[in-house]
Amino acid sequence: MEFASDLISNVNWKAIAQLTFVALIMLSGPIVIFVLAARGGDL
């Protein structure tokens, strides 16, 4: 079990969180455009 705790403690959680938020921000643009197109272009 020592290996699993070492693995979890060595993970750079801040980098993972930042990459996740960057991915969400990059995906939100096309998602908004798709929703606008699906609704006929009106908010």
| Residue 2 belongs to some domain of the structure | no
Q: Is residue 32 one of the residues assigned to a domain?
A: yes
Consecutive 10-residue runs of the chain (43 residues): their mean pLDDT?
Answer: 71 92 96 90 71
Domain count, the chain: 1
Q: Is residue 20 part of a domain?
A: yes
Give Cα separations from 7 to 4, 15, 17, 37 (angstroms). Answer: 5, 15, 17, 44
Residue 21 included in any domain? yes
Is 25 part of a structural domain of the chain? yes
What is the domain range of residue 41?
12-43
Q: Is residue 6 part of a domain?
A: no
Q: 31 lies in a domain? A: yes
Instruction: Give domain status of residue 23, yes or no.
Output: yes
The pLDDT of residue 6 is: 76
Give the whole-angstrom CA distance, residue 5 versus residue 41: 50
- pLDDT, residue 1, reads 56
